[in-house]
Chains A and B, each alone.
Chain A
């Protein structure tokens, strides 16, 4: 019965802090078992939406449903959702085991059973040996996993994660991304993941909502967001893009309106390339940046646009030019994405399907 309901349904959700509208009429449905990310720059309202779902803030307007049940007015302890906090929020005076058992303790579960269940939860994050330690004796990655065990031991229907990997260094973060995905698959519960890191959102999620100014700018699978960004904001925030305004689009692409092309869809050659649907434009190399796995070339096109080209360091090797070289940049018409003006995503979708 509950399976037919979405795990979370937000209807007209609004939150104002004084004169500032942090969340502006957000409508959203998140399916059961989904790994869902809310992506956006700081101040875009993504964390506020998470805190509204958790119950730490009361919305100014709109409703929050959890598996079809209206929980808008309920206190955090009455909602079947749990949170992994950005600073982990582990209780510093309790041992790791007591931290994990806390949710069971306040629910009145006996000492024997809660210790048993807390031990199992710690084992699931590979920390069974650490139960007697204090949180301060653990590394960042270990604390992160304790926070995860503490939030999942009470078997929530939805797990909320507020930038949980933000404090970790790059290597550990990549490792934790893989673990998070595995844990989510094992538990089979809905994860709602807040991040400002677009790469993290693309890597982990089934679907991503891109937030800007308290609204959802675009909602879709990682591939949809990356391949068909609906607005200038999404094109710039999710990955990097070469943006062409109306005038340059007419000159270079032969179309009107704003367009974007991903750097890896452009090719640098000495001679102009031709073919079905392939266009090219001459330009001058202004910067060559070696990245190891690839090379990034910045080129000023004679038509007046500056573009970035990303070439892979693959089997064919690198054809690195030098600054000042005269080259040709070419692309396929199918890789040109038409952008609608920001904040009207329905038009953007229509425009994208036409292109």
Chain B
């Protein structure tokens, strides 16, 4: 009876045979599943990164402009010892740190309200509101801030009656704009971290005599620290690599990304650009190494 029904439906039996083959050959199954993403990861991602690393140890012939594929440490030495690169590195790290601190300070109360105070309905609305800015183009948002921060912009108009002034274009403007751009990436992991803290833990703390501040300091903060660090990894690394915002609202200031950009484009010195690009990569790896023990990497 079974064989009759299989014969009457040949398509089904072919599909069945395929399924049966895959069921009994787990390695083939795995290969089919991972072939495309592995190709992407290895060829496009790791090879590109490796090339960057290798290129940093090459040089450019100053007459022909051709790349000489001979090993040299010149670019690395230039980048590490050159005062321009040192200044820009310190400035970039400073901006990234300031953005990260501002974002964490803003995200903590917002995420706490979303996770522990708001009603479930309100919670969903707030998650959507936090995500909404991510649907708009990065460039549009940066130019919007350029308009807000300009000398005759809305910020000047708001602050002037109180004797304040817009910071104008420069590093403060860069910090404000980047803080705005990366805030959702900091709110969401902290919100998720707070969601995972059961309400009963907060009640238990209060029940045992802990007032709000003790509860936050001794129970909530230690439990969401990995989530906070996960958020800072986003804001810190995104800020380190940014060069468009600083172009739009940063005035004459340059960040590491600008140096990479000019060396690839105008200066046509890809090896030096690669060496500069290694700076944020080294810093990020240093940061990841520092925070890996907190369990933050499980929260990304």
* A54 to B206 CA separation, bound complex (whole angstroms): 10
A91 to B201: give the CA distance in the assembly, Å.
7
Q: Which residues of B contact A103 (CB under 8 A)?
A: 208-210
Complex interface bits, B220-250 against A, C-beta within 8 A gives 1, otherwise 0: 0011000000000000000000000000000
**Closest CB of chain B to A180's CB: distance in Å?**
19
**Cβ-closest chain B residue relative to A93:** B222
Binds A, one of B15-23, B53-61, B211-219: B211-219
Taking the closest CB of chain B, its distance from the CB of A79, in whole angstroms, is 8
- Which of A85, A151, A154 is packed against the most chain B CB atoms within 10 Å? A85
The answer, yes or no, to whether B203 is at the interface (CB within 8 Å) is: yes
B218→A56 contact, CB < 8 A: no
Known: A89-B201, A91-B219. A75 touches B209 (CB 8 A): no
Whether A106 and B214, one on each chain, are in contact in the complex, defined by CB atoms closer than 8 angstroms, is: yes
Complex interface: chain A residues within 8 A of B206 (CB) = 55-56, 75-77
> What is the CB-to-nearest-CB distance from A100 to chain B, in angstroms, rounded to a whole number?
10
B210 touches A106 (CB 8 A): yes
* Contact A106 to B208, CB < 8 A, known contacts A92-B223, A93-B222, A93-B223: yes
| Other-chain contact of B208, A56, A86, A92, A150 (Cβ < 8 Å) | A150
Interface SS of chain A: helix, strand, loop or mixed?
loop
| Chain A, 16-74, CB within 8 A of any chain B CB | 54-56
Rounded to whole angstroms, the CA-CA distance of A116 and B232 in the bound complex is 40
CB contacts between A and B, total, < 8 Å: 63
Chain B positions within 8 Å of A89 at CB level? 198, 200-201, 203-204
- B70 at interface by CB-CB < 8 Å: no
Bits for B175-215, please: 1 = Cβ < 8 Å to A, else 0: 00000000000000000000000101101111111110010
B204: chain A residues at CB < 8 Å are: 83, 85, 89-91
Report the Cα distance A87→B214, complex, angstroms: 22
In the complex, how many angstroms separate the beta carbon of A143 from the nearest chain B beta carbon?
13
Q: How far is the CA of A198 from the CA of B205 in the complex (A)?
A: 30
Contact of B203 with A102 in the complex, beta carbons under 8 Å: no
Contacts of B210 in A (CB 8 A): 77, 102-103, 106
Given the known interface contacts A92-B223, A105-B218, the answer about A154 and B200 at a Cβ–Cβ threshold of 8 Å is: no
Q: How many residues of B contact A (CB 8 A)?
A: 17
Q: Which residue of A lies closest to B215 (CB)?
A: A106
| Whole-angstrom CA separation of A90 from B203 in the bound complex | 11
Q: How far is the CA of A284 from the CA of B219 in the complex (A)?
A: 64
Contacts of A212 in B (CB 8 A): none
Interface size on A, residues (CB 8 A): 25
Chain A residues in 8 Å Cβ range of B201: 89, 91
Q: Check A190 for interface membership: any CB of B closer than 8 A.
A: no
Which residue among A77, A92, A103, A151 has the maximum number of chain B CB atoms within 10 Å of its CB? A77
- Residues in B whose Cβ lies below 8 Å from that of A102: 205, 208, 210, 218
* Bound Cα distance from A56 to B207, whole angstroms: 8
Contacts of B208 in A (CB 8 A): 77, 82, 102-103, 106, 150-151, 154
A91 to B203, CA, bound (A): 11
Shortest C-beta distance, A54 to chain B (Å), equals: 6
Interface residue from B198, B207, B214 paired with A83 (Cβ < 8 Å): B207
Residue interface bits A133-168, CB-to-B below 8 A is 1, else 0: 000000000000000001100100000000000000
For the complex, give the distance between the alpha carbons of A29 and B210 in Å: 28
Report yes or no: A106 in contact with B198, Cβ–Cβ below 8 A.
no
Is A82 a contact partner of B207 (Cβ separation < 8 A)?
Answer: yes
Please pick, from B203, B218, B223, the residue contacting A76 in the complex, using a CB distance under 8 A: B203
B residues in contact with A150, CB < 8 Å: 208
B219 to chain A, nearest CB (A): 6
* A90 CB contacts on chain B under 8 angstroms: 204
* Residues of chain A within 8 A of B214, CB atoms compared: 106
Given contacts A83-B204, A93-B222, A93-B223, contact A154 B198 (CB under 8 A): no
Closest B residue to A105 by beta carbon equals: B218
- Residues of chain B within 8 A (CB-CB) of A316 are none
A55 to B207, CA, bound (A): 8
Cβ of A85: which chain B residues have Cβ within 8 Å of it? 200, 203-204
- Please report which residues of chain A, range 327-343, place their CB below 8 angstroms from some CB of chain B when the two chains form the complex: none
Q: How far is the CA of A82 from the CA of B203 in the complex (A)?
A: 11
Within 8 A of A (CB), among B61-109: none
- Of chain B, the residue at the smallest CB distance from A87 is B200
Distance to closest chain A CB from B276 (angstroms): 41
Residues of A near B205 (CB, < 8 A) are: 91, 102, 106
Q: How far is the CB of B239 from chain A (nearest CB, A)?
A: 29
Q: Given known contacts A89-B204, A106-B214, A106-B218, is B198 in contact with A77 (CB within 8 Å)?
A: no
Closest residue to A54 on the B side, CB-wise?
B207
Chain A nearest Cβ from B128, distance in angstroms: 24
Does A112 count as interface, using CB distance less than 8 angstroms? no
Query: 7 smallest A-B Cβ distances: which pairs?
Result: A103-B208, A89-B200, A89-B204, A106-B210, A76-B206, A106-B214, A93-B222
30 sampled A-B residue pairs with Cβ under 8 A: A54-B203, A54-B207, A55-B207, A56-B207, A76-B203, A77-B206, A77-B208, A77-B211, A81-B207, A83-B203, A83-B204, A83-B207, A85-B204, A86-B200, A87-B198, A89-B203, A89-B204, A91-B204, A91-B205, A92-B223, A102-B205, A102-B210, A103-B209, A103-B210, A106-B205, A106-B208, A106-B209, A107-B209, A150-B208, A151-B208
* Contacts beyond the supplied A87-B200, A103-B210, A105-B218: 10 A-B pairs with Cβ under 8 Å: A54-B203, A54-B207, A56-B203, A76-B203, A82-B208, A85-B203, A89-B200, A91-B219, A102-B205, A107-B209
